[in-house]
Chain A
């Protein structure tokens, strides 16, 4: 069980790294390749027409911030039982959430063409970290 847990942990960590790397690569090619830039622009406009995208992004930022605060709150309650490693996970969660929220709020499609894609990927990485960390914090209570 512990071994499987470790494997899962590593897999999800790698997934987060790949997601963040993917956001960089996507933005890089959006700036370097006209075909990619036009594809991204096409999708930007399509999404803006189809969905209330501003409301969606604001809602997601709020949701992830609330979840982060909730996990932090639970952690504060149980921090005496927490391992040092849990502190690291909490820190990574805060960093990812702050990066996601800061980028999503301060940037826009007009500033960065790949904005929607990058914001979604940042949000995905932050979301995965919140779930992983939150699960870990909840499980602290089960250890006696």
Chain B
């Protein structure tokens, strides 16, 4: 009897030792891995100028790791249209600490133009942003201009240091940096923004300002950042815009969606590329240039390219083709303006069957 009891006790003890020993090992490995991750996440990168917009994944990670001047006061925004609930990409994987920024927060829903200064100031406050906060925007890919749109709005408002992760989430993933899942809600700030919003109203032109400049200023160039088919009036490019064409006097600056402004690795091309596109129409970077597209997203990219190079003779015509074609009296061109086949007419004469499928 005693032997049996001893055998049972011995077996129990052995089983216990095995159980504790086996359970302990994976935890230890995971802890070591976590410690190793924490220890090795100490990325450094060269400092960049405040004006520089497009930054590398290394630089962003170095900010997160506390190795940049911007590390003390920054916000990372994952920019996309739609609420967080309707944007699964954010919940599945976002840069550590990033908030989701729905572009509806910065755009009104009639012309899809940037909201009023008062509204933008509130959005900034809700996201804990003052003019001294470094705002780092990113989208899923370099060609997705949602982050550029938000970046433009932040600059217009008066944020002094605005960055876009060059190449977007694709670049981040390629760099192998950590992401996290779930939701992070922004911490609002009660601190004053620090400047009257908008601090830079000159960055955005209204439709009336554009008409005035087209009529009175020979140095002013309205540059279309749309596809060739849109520029030539073959399609509006949008399912909700029935008419196709361009404001009379516009020149073509190529599209951003087709990669014309991207390098082979998905990052933003250099200013020389933009310069080449402008040269096709006899325009230089010294002209006063206003970029536009359908509703102001794609046009934000060449704007930011010129901005970060220090150019001040650049703006964005926010209403784009969408707002232009709402007024039947507005003058339009159909076709290549450098050719004899170009037709000049008004919006009211355009056919209403050019919506994109």
Contact = CB atoms under 8 A, between A and B. Distances in A.
Nearest to B242: A42
A113 B110 CA distance: 12
A32 B82 contact: yes
Given A38-B112, A41-B110, A31 B240 contact: no
A45 B110 contact: yes
B84 to A, nearest CB: 12
B240 A42 contact: yes
A34 interface: yes
Interface string A83-115: 000000000000000000000000000000100
B238 interface: yes
B240 A32 contact: no
**Interface of B (DSSP majority class):** loop
A56 to B, nearest CB: 20
Measured as residues with beta carbon below 8 angstroms from the partner, the interface class of chain A is 10 to 19
Nearest to B146: A34
B39 interface: no
A31 B83 contact: yes
A73 interface: no
Measured as residues with beta carbon below 8 angstroms from the partner, the interface class of chain B is 10 to 19
Nearest to B294: A38
A110 B110 CA distance: 12
A38 B238 contact: yes
A34 B144 CA distance: 13
B81 A34 contact: yes
A39 B86 contact: no
A34, A36, A39, A113, most chain B CB atoms within 10 A: A34
Given A38-B112, A41-B109, A45-B110, A32 B239 contact: no
A134 B238 CA distance: 44
Given A32-B86, A45-B110, A39 B240 contact: yes
B92 to A, nearest CB: 15
B112 A31 contact: no
B82 A31 contact: yes
Contacts of A38: 112, 238, 240, 295
Contact of B239 (A35, A44, A45, A113): A35
Given A38-B238, A38-B240, A41-B110, 20 more contacts: A31-B82, A31-B83, A31-B86, A32-B82, A32-B86, A34-B81, A35-B238, A35-B239, A35-B240, A36-B239, A38-B112, A38-B295, A39-B239, A39-B240, A41-B109, A42-B240, A42-B241, A44-B109, A45-B110, A113-B109
10 contacts: A31-B83, A32-B82, A34-B82, A35-B238, A35-B239, A37-B81, A38-B238, A39-B240, A41-B109, A42-B241
Interface of B: 81-83, 86, 109-110, 112, 238-241, 295
9 residue pairs, one from A and one from B, having the closest CB atoms: A39-B240, A34-B81, A41-B109, A42-B240, A35-B239, A38-B240, A31-B86, A45-B110, A32-B86
